[in-house]
Chain A
Amino acid sequence: MSARLEELLRHAFPDATELSVSDRTGGGDHFQVTVAAPRFRDLSLVDQHRLVYDALAKPLADGTIHELRIKTRGER
């Protein structure tokens, strides 16, 4: 499941300089995602996280993701 989420994020953030997904509990539904991308630079944290939520809208909506922790960073 982590691989699928990572694929969705790679698609949404092709220029990411850092991108990782980890299964926090090993249960396949609690995830920590980290994304660093240039496009985040001029966005508030709220808008940065909104982009991540948008990228993962489907697994969030269908219950695949029970809990999501997000860490984002704007990079040059």
Chain B
Amino acid sequence: MSELREKIRETIESEPVVLFMKGTPEQVYCGNSGRALEALRSVGAPVTTVDVLPDPRIRQELSALSNWPTIPQVFVGGELVGGADIVQELAETGELKQKLDAALGDANPDTRTERVVQVGGTHTPFRFVP
């Protein structure tokens, strides 16, 4: 397993809620990433975000690992919950909150904290803005 894939896997497994997105919560570069972020915010999730744009290999390795072809991708408790459509749907039905409570247990602080981590991508940042 590549070092980058290992780092991605570690992030998914160690962070309660991970959002792989295009951009950051402060600077969202894609409507779908924004929709996923808003859905997570709506249930008060503590979100750890990873920007996939700095290095195209992040997206390749992530998709190979998750068997999910598109960005964004949301993981709760180490499990893929889905992309923007699923996360938005689950937020509306209340299931996202349930998943969150189940994964975080009493530790669910509802702190709405947002944290950006990097999994690699020391290459020259390149941003494609459609």
Contact = CB atoms under 8 A, between A and B. Distances in A.
Nearest to A60: B69
A71 interface: yes
B68 A46 contact: yes
B110 interface: no
Contact of A45 (B69, B82, B84): B82
A43 interface: no
Interface string A52-72: 010001001000001111110
Contacts of B80: 46
Interface residues of A, number: 13
Interface residues of B, number: 16
Interface in B36-66: none
B16 interface: no
Nearest to B80: A46
Q: Which of B81, B82, B84, B90 counts the most A-chain CB atoms under 10 A from its CB? A: B82
Nearest to A61: B69
A45 B31 CA distance: 21
A49 B86 contact: yes
A50 B31 CA distance: 21
Nearest to A65: B70
B10 interface: no
Interface in A14-67: 45-46, 49-50, 53, 57, 60, 66-67
B89 A50 contact: no
Given A46-B80, A67-B32, A53 B69 contact: yes
Interface of A: 45-46, 49-50, 53, 57, 60, 66-71
Interface of B: 31-32, 67-70, 80-86, 89-90, 130
8 contacts: A45-B86, A45-B89, A46-B81, A46-B82, A49-B82, A49-B83, A67-B31, A71-B85
Which 6 A-B pairs have CB atoms at the shortest separation, nearest pair first? A45-B86, A70-B85, A46-B82, A53-B69, A69-B85, A46-B80
